[in-house]
């Protein structure tokens, strides 16, 4: 365990960017891949700021696209460390889009990235402990504990899961699938 502790607030990072036509997908909305790239950048900045080390993305645990983002909106991303392990951190990111003409702000995305701190040799580096200063920070930390437990449970069941026989798939109305095995 590390004897250095930092507050959640010390990890806070926010970025904003105007959404341009060059950021769109084929339907004219902001491309999800562009948003993912920005999410990865802010997760890196947040984790590096908190840990004092170079950080890498270990996993993107959740990305919930809640509403599309339009060209001309100002996107604001806010990130903070929600959980720390020995060398890993879970970064929570909230994405809001503001219509700069009307001032209307909408929550568009919530994301959770697991980042790992690295030392100069590329080995995992210890990260500071986390000081939880209010009930919202405690709630976020507890949610991370639930996420970690669910992830471990999923991983342990991957090899033992029984998804049913071919016959049960063919005779079921549960799946929208047609088997045409050659």
Could you tell me if residue 129 is inside a domain? yes
In a domain, 162, yes or no: no
For residue 119, tell me if it sits in a domain: yes
Q: What CATH number did the domain enclosing 59 receive?
A: 3.10.129.10
Q: Does residue 80 fall inside a structural domain?
A: yes
Pairwise CA distance, residues 20 & 9, whole Å: 31
Quick one: pLDDT at residue 73? 98
Per the structure, the complete domain to which residue 79 belongs is given by: 5-133
Indicate whether 57 belongs to any domain: yes
Dig out the tokens for 26 from the structure. Answer: 């084929």
Residue 160 lies in a domain: no
Q: What is the pLDDT along the chain (182 residues), one digit of tens a residue?
A: 568 999 999 999 999 999 999 999 999 999 999 999 999 999 999 999 999 999 999 999 989 999 999 999 999 999 999 999 999 999 999 999 999 999 999 999 999 999 999 999 999 999 999 999 999 999 999 999 999 999 888 888 776 556 667 777 767 777 777 777 77
Predicted model pTM: 0.86
Domain annotation covers residue 157: no
142 within domain boundaries: no
pLDDT in the model for residue 20: 98
In sequence order, what DSSP letters do the residues of 78-132 get, joined into one string?
EEEEEEE-SSEEEEEEEEEEEETTT--EEEEEEEEEEEEEE-TTSSB----EEE-
Res 156: pLDDT: 80
Number of folded domains that form the chain: 1
Nearest C-alpha neighbor of 149 from the set 90, 79, 80: 90
């Amino acid at each position: 365990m590390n004897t250095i502790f930092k507050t959640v607030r010390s990890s806070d990072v926010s970025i904003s960017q105007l959404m341009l036509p060059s950021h769109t997908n084929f339907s004219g909305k902001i491309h999800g891949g562009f948003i993912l790239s920005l999410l990865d950048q802010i997760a890196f900045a947040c984790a590096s700021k908190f840990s004092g080390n170079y950080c890498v993305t270990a996993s993107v645990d959740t990305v919930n696209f809640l509403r599309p983002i339009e060209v001309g909106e100002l996107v604001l991303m806010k990130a903070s460390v929600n959980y720390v392990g020995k060398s890993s951190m879970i970064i929570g990111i909230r994405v809001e889009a503001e219509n700069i003409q009307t001032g209307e702000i909408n929550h568009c995305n919530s994301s959770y990235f697991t980042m790992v701190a690295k030392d100069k040799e590329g080995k995992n580096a210890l990260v500071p402990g986390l000081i939880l200063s209010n009930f919202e920070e405690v709630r976020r930390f507890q949610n991370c504990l639930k996420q970690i437990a669910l992830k471990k449970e999923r991983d342990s069941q991957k090899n033992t899961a029984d998804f049913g026989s071919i016959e049960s798939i063919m005779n079921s109305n549960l799946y929208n699938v047609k088997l045409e095995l050659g």
